[in-house]
Chain A
């Protein structure tokens, strides 16, 4: 069966898998094997374990919907990160989110500095009076 994971940034994952296990805080844990009944469910914070032969991947999902229909599973998530283990996937998510918050903060400071500098320059050159 096929699984497609989509985030607002685009497609994250699109592969054939043998089985998946969905675990989420709100709905608990369940597995989906090929020819599972059509199902729609939501994930607030959780992960999906993807099994593909011997390979196992974990995808962390934030605010997502999962739909299975005729062996096509589509997951739409607000944020999704992939890793080799559950811990790694979560760590990935944490680090990326933290980096973004840090980046936003840094930018705010830089912007404020630049604005102050601009105002000082304008005063200095008397550009407003031209």
Chain B
């Protein structure tokens, strides 16, 4: 009797879990669509800022800026982009594993690098493993990404770079390929080395107000903000995708478990009925 009730309870619990995971799957799907659209509309803007910066550089070939110069790497800054909450399948694990591996391979001592984290998961991971941290509290990575949330951090990194606290800043994040595939990637945020300086006649006619140097001083932080924002959008998109897939799998598994449990339940019920029947028949036989 007790076994029967236990199984029944378990079935109920599993059904409830599957309802929750299914709801989470649908929430993630909706959020994924939203973030993906944001990600797509942002791409032309990112490109435009880049083109402008390249234009400024092209018209002033000799212009130098510390953020564009590579220098000897003594200390590397890492920015890990993770999520605030779990239940996203292997999303956070993959990023953190990649980072751990990377540190182990490239750095001999903890003086050679410093870590900045976005999202609570990466923060608690680094704290637990005693990595040198830049931020003293977790920087939230909200579901609806706002430009303003990350600007302060982007500026903090730039000033750290300018003070030669670090000589290179690398971002580690999960790149969104499609709903089923996300790749852990690293991208060098600073110094900016991939800008093209090319001399074309249309550019040289520009007037810079007040001067090319001043425009560039303003433009580079804007470009960096944009790059960072783009990366965070990318990471956010893959987080939602990863969570959606994970929740889909969880729902499928729950349904499978319920199916198996139902079989057990019916079997137990059947055998109980059989026992009762034999009891009754046995009793009846004894009377006659």
Interface residues of A (CB under 8 A from B): 6-10, 26-27, 30, 37-42, 44, 63-65, 67, 69, 74, 76, 78-79, 97, 100, 104, 107-108
Contact of A40 among B42, B206, B222 (CB under 8 A): B206
Q: Report how many residues on chain B are interfacial, defined by Cβ distance under 8 Å.
A: 30
Q: Which residue of B lies closest to A130 (CB)?
A: B13
- A65 contacts B218, C-beta separation under 8 Å: yes
Contact of B209 among A30, A69, A79, A104 (CB under 8 A): A30
Known contacts A8-B147, A65-B222, A79-B148; is A38 also within 8 Å of B45 by CB? no
Q: Say if the beta carbon of B70 comes within 8 Å of chain A.
A: no
Q: Mark B182-216, 1 if CB is under 8 A from A, else 0.
A: 00000000000000000000000111111000110
Bound: A63/B220 CA distance, A = 11
Q: Say if the beta carbon of B103 comes within 8 Å of chain A.
A: no
- Chain B interface mostly: helix
- A78 contacts B222, C-beta separation under 8 Å: yes
Stretch in B48-56, B124-132, B170-178 touching the partner: B48-56
Q: Which residue of A lies closest to B218 (CB)?
A: A42
- B49 contacts A40, C-beta separation under 8 Å: no
Known contacts A8-B229, A44-B218, A76-B48; is A38 also within 8 Å of B207 by CB? yes
- A65 contacts B206, C-beta separation under 8 Å: no
Interface residues of B (CB under 8 A from A): 38, 41-42, 45, 48-49, 52, 55-56, 140, 142, 146-148, 151, 205-210, 214-215, 218-219, 221-222, 225-226, 229
Kindly provide the distance from the CB of B208 to the nearest chain A CB, expressed in whole angstroms: 6
A-B contact pairs, 11 of them (CB 8 A): A10-B41, A38-B207, A39-B207, A39-B209, A42-B214, A42-B222, A65-B218, A76-B48, A78-B222, A79-B147, A100-B148
Known contacts A65-B52, A67-B52; is A27 also within 8 Å of B225 by CB? no
Kindly provide the distance from the CB of B125 to the nearest chain A CB, expressed in whole angstroms: 18
Task: List A contacts of B142 (CB < 8 A).
Answer: 104, 107
- B214 contacts A40, C-beta separation under 8 Å: no
- A65 contacts B207, C-beta separation under 8 Å: no
- B209 contacts A41, C-beta separation under 8 Å: yes
Q: Which 6 A-B pairs have the closest CB atoms?
A: A42-B218, A41-B209, A39-B207, A38-B206, A8-B147, A10-B41
Kindly provide the distance from the CB of A67 to the nearest chain B CB, expressed in whole angstroms: 6
Contact of A39 among B146, B147, B206 (CB under 8 A): B206
Task: List A contacts of B229 (CB < 8 A).
Answer: 8
- B206 contacts A78, C-beta separation under 8 Å: no
Task: List A contacts of B151 (CB < 8 A).
Answer: 78
Task: List B contacts of A8 (CB < 8 A).
Answer: 42, 45, 147, 226, 229
